[in-house]
Structure 1
Amino acid sequence: MLSMIGLVGGLALLIYLTMKGMNLLVAGPLCALFVAIFSGLPLFPQLVGEGEANLVGNYMTGFSGFIASWYLMFLLGAIFGKVMEDSGAADSVSKWIVEKLGMKRAVLAIVIACAVLTYGGVSLFVVAFSVYPMAVSLFRQANLPRRFIPAALAFGSVTFTMTSAGSPEIQNWIPIEYLSTSPYAGWEVSLIVAVFMMVFGYWWLRRMITKAVASGEKFVSRDNDPVNKDKALPHPLTGLIPLLVVLIISFIFHDSLQQSALIIALLGGVITAYLLNRNYFKSFWDAVSEGTLGALIALGNTAAVVGFGGVAKAVPAFEIAVNAMTSIPGSPLIGGAIAVSVIAGMTGSASGGQAIALPLIAPHYIDMGVNPEALHRVVAISSGALDSLPHNGYVVTTIRGICGESHKEAYNPVAALTVIVPLIGLAIAIILFSFGLGI
């Protein structure tokens, strides 16, 4: 009983401290200590026998293990995003999409700009920073309530692109290590689900905005609003080509190198972006340095959460919880989806949720004969649902840091599009796989 109180209380404390703004590198081990004390877990390796569970050993094993597995992917992904940003290539692609769709489809233009950049491998945070100035300009011209800008940015970045088949985002690549699949696993179902999420989510976003406008809401300018600069931008084609290079290289090498193909793909994207747009850089090496620092912060924050999971999964209550989730009657995919969704939601991280859940549930379901491709796609989609609760790093950064909104004003539309829509998409995926589609 005490162990369960410690587990639930530790997770609740992690969410609370994160929403209060505490650094995850501090909050992670602090909440792990809470879990360990309530469960009677020894604190130091010196107090137990070799290989036995303890707070420091389990925390650092989870922390360092995640870094060892994903450092180069985070590093090259962040550098690629900053290179695309510094050269103006990301802005060029976004601006071209906006110009082609026009003012009447301002919201759709923002969503598609985010989707193209995300599916091309640009970091989610870089996409938000890059598209935000254009979003402000379009919302101002269309006189739309600015509190919906975070929802538009998030919808285009972390829903139908982040977890879809072929996406170079790590949420689609982590399952490969545990299931020996490919980034294109379950692509038939993934395509159907992605189209549903895109169409239904956009309809819902437009409906929310229309209702707000009808009730008298309008755009309110701020003194610190970004102003579109007259900086010369590269041709949109030289911005699209590096995105295509990432996708093509990852496709060519995914069978032979599995998740390591992403290293070559992102490196190829960086080199291509430099060669095509080298005359437009403010400073290429400064962009590399900024990308490196960004990667270390993102990687450290995620590893801090995975380290917390390393302690959580060592206590008796965690095994009870996982057994309960994986013993749910019906399709085994339901249990897997719930386990990943709940853990991703508790940790506020899709990648962290997968890294904690998959080592535990993958062998269990594979032994049961569950199709690995179906499990891969269900895990990917489910990780991108409850992870977007208020304490999620991307949600906090986009709403507060980038858009300058409050959770009270902006989070409900974000939750509708990044939690509810993916959950419906997840249900559709499970139903389609249950009928044998894509298997």
Structure 2
Amino acid sequence: MIGMLGVLLALGLLIFLAYRGVSVLLLGPAMALVAALFAVGTPLLATYTQVFMSSAGNFIVQFFPLFLLGAIFGKLMDDSGAAEAIAQGIVGKLGQERAILAVVLACAVLTYGGVSLFVVAFAVYPIAAALFRQAEIPKRLIPATIALGAFTFTMTALPGTPAIQNAIPMPFFGTTPFAAPVLGIITALVMFGLGQWWLSRQAAQARLAGEGYGEHEDAQPAFDKDQREHSSGEGFDVLMVAPEAPPRALPSFTVAISPVVLVIVLNYAFSTMIIPAMDTAYLAEARYGATTVDSVRGVWAIICSLTIACLLLLVMTWSRLAAPKRSLDDGANASVLPIFNTASLVGFGAVIAALPAFDLIQGFVESIGGGNPLVSLAVAVNVLAGVTGSASGGMSIALQTLGADYLAMAEVAGIAPDLLHRVTTVATGGLDSLPHNGAVVTLLAICGLTHREAYKDIFMVAVLFPIISLVLLVVLGSLFGAF
């Protein structure tokens, strides 16, 4: 019982202090040691060096290329004007009368192509502000509109997205980014449909009430050190991805969207055709980790697709980059803090899993859902994403502590690993977007609005509707399996 008290105290302090802006890099090891202190006989130094650091280091080894390439790709898309060109192109096609749909789709295309949600928010906000002002739609709906396109279905549900939420489950379950594709598409359509309905309904009610856009300044804010620390856990270092001076001329829509399309196409080709056709027998050797291609092909596919897309982007937009070296450097630097923050949470989860009290937690979590591992997995990931304020952090803790157990339970129940993968990714979206989430805080700061003004609509499109979609996914997966 004393050990369980330590775990609950450590988790409570982690949530409280993270919300107060204390760095997760400090909180992860500190709170892990707090939990270990309550486990009588647990050696603290060995827990730190052999459990915490080992797990955190393994996470960095596995996923650093994805954080690095994703940050560089997003920075190049931003500094070259490609992100803005895509947003303007979609908005121009749909027009003022479909302002909400235009902004949602612009965000969705960019995030599905691998652009950081922070880059998307910076790029799309000025366009959304001008469009909403012209259409007399309340500014308070802009954060929720961006959140629907950038925080929800493209990050978790759509198959093939190179988002880290879609990548982390792959080594645990031996899956690819295209796991359970049809179920993912159905879930994405439900999220999109419900969110679009809600925002359109809110805009119509505001129009009837004569609310209009409101009296607002639309200039983007500067970010101070505290905002940077609070927002960096879920995406990238916000000071590094904030846009530079606008390029001299925007690229054409075709040029701008080509790297985005290439990421998706190559991701599919590498994960389903090229890598499986390669002779990878050497992976069984000890020097290569004594593993199998199924454990690495998903990560390899994203690495290859993002690398080629970055090279194409450099070639096509070199003349539009004011300082190519600086863009590459800033993108690379922007990837460091987020992966270390997430790795710190992974290390915390590993320590918790190594404590005797974890047997009680494991038994409780696995009992949720009456023996259905999909229900238990969905609840565990969603709750952990909520309490940590991080989709990737919550998922990492859940998989680090219980991933092997869920895989074993699924095998007994005849559930495909692909279905576990898709339930895990969709479950990261929902409670992760509670008010203390770094991406929510940053988005509101970019838009110059407060939680009181805009969070209600963010909650509907980024918390409630993704949870409803998750329930549908679990029900369909339980009835029909992965497809």
Q: TM-score, normalised by structure 2?
A: 0.83
Does 2:179 correspond to 1:185?
yes
Are residues 1:429 and 2:473 paired? Answer: yes
Moved more, 211-220 or 130-139: 211-220
Q: Which residue identity does 2:168 align to in structure 1? A: I
Superposed displacement of residue 393, structure 1? 2.0
Change (3 A) 1:211 1:42: farther
Structure 1 residues 10 and 144: CA distance shift in structure 2, 3 A: farther
Give 2:280's aligned residue.
none
- Find the counterpart in structure 2 of residue 411 from structure 1: 455
**2:416 aligns with one of 361, 371, 381:** 371
Q: Which amino acid is 1:430 matched to?
A: V
Structure-2 separation of matches of 1:3 and 1:221: 54
1:119 aligns with 2:159: no
For 1:333-362, what per-residue CA distance to the aligned partner results, in whole angstroms no more than 9, with x for missing partners? Answer: 111111221222222222222222224433
Deviations 1:55-86 (A, max 9, x none): 45433223222211111110010000000100
Deviation, 1:250, is: 1.2
Report percent identity of matched pairs: 41
Aligned to 2:377: 336
Aligned residue in 2 for 1:51: none
CA gap of 1:230–1:351, structure 2 versus 1, over 3 A, is closer
Q: In 2 relative to 1, CA 406–57 (structure 1 residues): closer, same or farther, beyond 3 Å?
A: farther
Q: Which moved more, 1:302-311 or 1:261-270?
A: 302-311
Contact 1:386/1:419, CA 8 A, preserved across alignment: yes
CA distance in 1, matches of 2:70, 2:464: 28
Residue 279 of structure 1 is aligned with which of 290, 300, 319?
A: 319
Map 1:206-217 → 2, pairs under 5 A: 206-215=200-209, 217=211
Matched, 1:225 2:225: no
Distance 1:64 1:437, change over 3 A: closer
Q: How does 1:39-188 map to 2 (within 5 A)?
A: 39-40=39-40, 42=42, 44-45=44-45, 54-163=47-156, 164-188=158-182
Deviation at 1:416, TM superposition (A): 1.5
CA distance in 2, matches of 1:216, 1:8: 49
Measured in 1, the distance between the counterparts of 2:52 and 2:403 equals 21
Q: Which residue matches 1:385?
A: 430
Distance 1:208 1:2 in 2: 49
Deviation per CA, 1:294-339: give whole Å up to 9, x if none: 1112212222222222233233343322321212305321111112
Once residues 349 and 73 of structure 2 are traced to their aligned partners in structure 1, the CA distance between those partners, rounded to angstroms, is 29
CA 1:89–1:315: 2 relative to 1, 3 Å:
same
How far apart in 1 are the matches of 2:53 and 2:177?
Answer: 29
- The Cα offsets for residues 118-145 of structure 1, whole Å up to 9 and x where unpaired, read as 1111111111111111111112222322
> Aligned match of 2:336 in 277, 283, 296?
296
Give the one of 380, 402, 420 matched to 1:361. 402
Cα pair 1:29 1:304 within 8 Å, conserved:
yes
Query: Per-residue deviation at 1:415?
Result: 1.7
In 2, the alpha carbon distance for the partners of 1:89 and 1:399 equals 24
Amino acid at match of 2:338: A
**Which residue, 248, 254, 267 being the options, matches 1:237?**
254
1:394 aligns with 2:394: no
Q: 1:229 to 1:70 in 2, by over 3 A?
A: closer
Aligned to 1:15: 15
Q: 1:312 aligns with which of 340, 352, 356?
A: 352
Task: Say if 2:338 is the partner of 1:321.
Answer: no
Distance 2:308 2:56 in 1: 28
Higher mean displacement: 329-338 or 22-31: 22-31
Report the 3-state secondary structure (helix = DSSP H, G, I; strand = E; otherwise coil) of the residue aligned with 2:266. Answer: helix
CA distance in 2, matches of 1:174, 1:304: 15
Cα-to-partner distance string for 1:149-174 (whole Å, 9 max, x where unaligned) = 22111110121111121111121122
Which residue of structure 1 lines up, in the alignment, with residue 228 of structure 2?
none
Say whether the 8 Å CA contact 1:84–1:273 is kept in structure 2: yes
Pairwise CA distance, 1:434:
1.7
* Gap regions ≥5 residues in structure 1: 49-53
Q: For the Cα contact (< 8 Å) 1:41–1:55, is it kept in 2?
A: no
Change (3 A) 1:208 1:312: farther
1:35 to 1:135, Cα distance in 2 relative to 1, 3 A: farther
Higher alpha-carbon deviation: 225-234 or 417-426: 225-234
The residue type paired with residue 331 of structure 1 is: N
Could you tell me which amino acid in structure 2 is paired with residue 9 of structure 1? L
- 1:28 alignment counterpart: 28
Amino acid at match of 2:365: M
**TM-score normalised by L of structure 1:** 0.91
Aligned-residue offset at 1:109 = 0.9
Q: How far, CA to CA, are the matches of 2:41 and 2:377 in structure 1?
A: 27
Per the alignment, in what secondary structure is the counterpart of residue 153 of structure 2?
coil
- Equivalent pairs, count: 431
Aligned to 2:299: 259
Q: Measure, in 2, the Cα distance between the counterparts of 1:327 and 1:32.
A: 25
On the 8 A contact 2:416/2:482 being kept in 1, the answer is no
Distance 1:429 1:31 in 2: 34
Q: Which residue identity lines up with residue 254 of structure 1 in the other structure?
A: S
SS of corresponding position for 1:157: helix
Report if the CA contact (8 A) 1:388-1:419 is conserved.
yes
